[in-house]
Structures are given as structure tokens and as C-alpha cells.
Chain A
Amino acid sequence: MWRKLVLILGSIFGLLLLAMGSVLALVDFKADPPSKGETLIMNWTKHTLLVGGKSERNPLKDNAAEVADGKEAFSHYCVACHGLDGQNTGVPFADRMSPPVPSLAGKDVQRYTDGQLKWIIDYGIWPSGMPGSKNTLSDEEIWSIVLYLRHLPPASSLGEPEMYTH
């Protein structure tokens, strides 16, 4: 009785492994840019289903001092992937990731509400290389970054991040 059961379960497990192997062999795992269709579907899903915090409001006032704070907080490590200007200037791998690092001044990013941008910085976003920064940055710093994202300077106006210039 037990022997039969082990034989059946073993066979099922073996078949599953075989199926997974076949799938992996067929799928291309290169970090190619996603197709237009994939991008469209993912953008819609992210904006409407996956990203939370839609109704949250930024508690910081929209003024030059707060934007300057946001710029400073952004420079802690966001610049490694997004560049000083939030538009990937000087980031050598920005378009080699899948999906590529988006320009934060672009329409797809600017369409998010302030609360959604805060949520993305807090928890990161899948499927992409964007990590969550909750507890690595304080709430105050994250809100100030959201404010900076709304006032990004012109592309290339701030030069390249220091880490890529030597």
C-alpha cells in the first residue's frame, strides 16, 4: 500500500520536474526590453490594481525648501539608478534592465498620484528592479522625494552621479 503511494507521488513529482524543465528550456531569460503589449498591460495593472496609496496626500508644503530637501534625500542612493535629474542621465545600465529604468519625468510616472509614488518608494515595485525604501528612508524624506519628483530639473542639467564619473 505505502509502496504504491510513494511510487505514484514520485512519478507525479518527476513529471512536474520534467514539465518545468521543458518550460525553462523554451523561455528566453535574457533581460530584453518588454514588448509594447507587455508594457501596456503592466502599466495599466500597476496604475489601477497593484500600486496602493492612491488617496494619500503629501503632508509637506510645495515650496522651494521642501523640494531642496527632497533633492538631497533623492541623492542618498536613488541617483544610482535614476541619475541626479531623475531621468537616468549618466546611468550606464538604465536601458539594459528589463523593464528599463523609466524616466521619472515621463508621463507613466507622473500619472501616479503623490500617494502612489510614496507607496512605490516604500515597497518597491514588481516586476522591476525598484526596491522598497521603507525604514531606509524616513516618511518625511520619502514625501520630500515625491515633491522633488514633481519638480525635476531639465534632463542632463545636473550632470552625472559622482559614482559614474571616475
Chain B
Amino acid sequence: MTMAIMSAALLIGNLKRKGPARPSFFPQSDSWKRVFLTFLSLIAYNLLLNPLGFALTTFLFVMFLVRFIFPQSWVRTLMVAVLSAIFARLLFINFLETQLPKGFLGF
């Protein structure tokens, strides 16, 4: 409790002091979009993992990120997404024997 108060006090003290000029918050005007979408996709992955199963969620996740964050061609996107889903599936489930949800499709 004292710690919480102390850090709050430090925060206020620090806010009052004027620091040196910082570079603008985002280096590029569309940065916030990419940052926001990436966080969103992480949350989506967490939510979809159980209902959809590991392989399918991974495929969607990689596809979304490759296609929309730094847009790549569809061919490349699909190739990367399919390959990573298959490899991740082999690596984690078959090789490392991690118990990941299989979802309604059963793979």
C-alpha cells in the first residue's frame, strides 16, 4: 500500500517536471493502426484458440498479420500462413507434445 502511494507520488512529481522534448509518439502517421491491429489480433488469438483449435487459429492469425500489417501479396501470405500452421502444429503437438486445443475440426 505504501508502495502504491509512493509510486503515485513519484509519478506526479515526475509529470510536473518538464523533460527534454521527446520525438512524437508515433514515428509514422499510420503507425497507430499497425500497433492497434497487432494488439487486437493477439487478443483475438487468445479468444479463438479454444473454439477454433490450434492449427486453424494459427493460420488465421499469421494470415491476418502478414497481409495487413506490412501488406504482402496474397500468394506469399497464403504460403507463409499455411506453412507456419503446419510447422507449428508438427513442432508443438507432435514433437514437443504440448497439449493444445484441437477445436471442433479435430486438428
- Do chains A and B interact in one complex? no
Question: Using a CB–CB distance below 8 Å, which chain B residues touch chain A?
Answer: none
Question: Using a CB–CB distance below 8 Å, which chain A residues touch chain B?
Answer: none
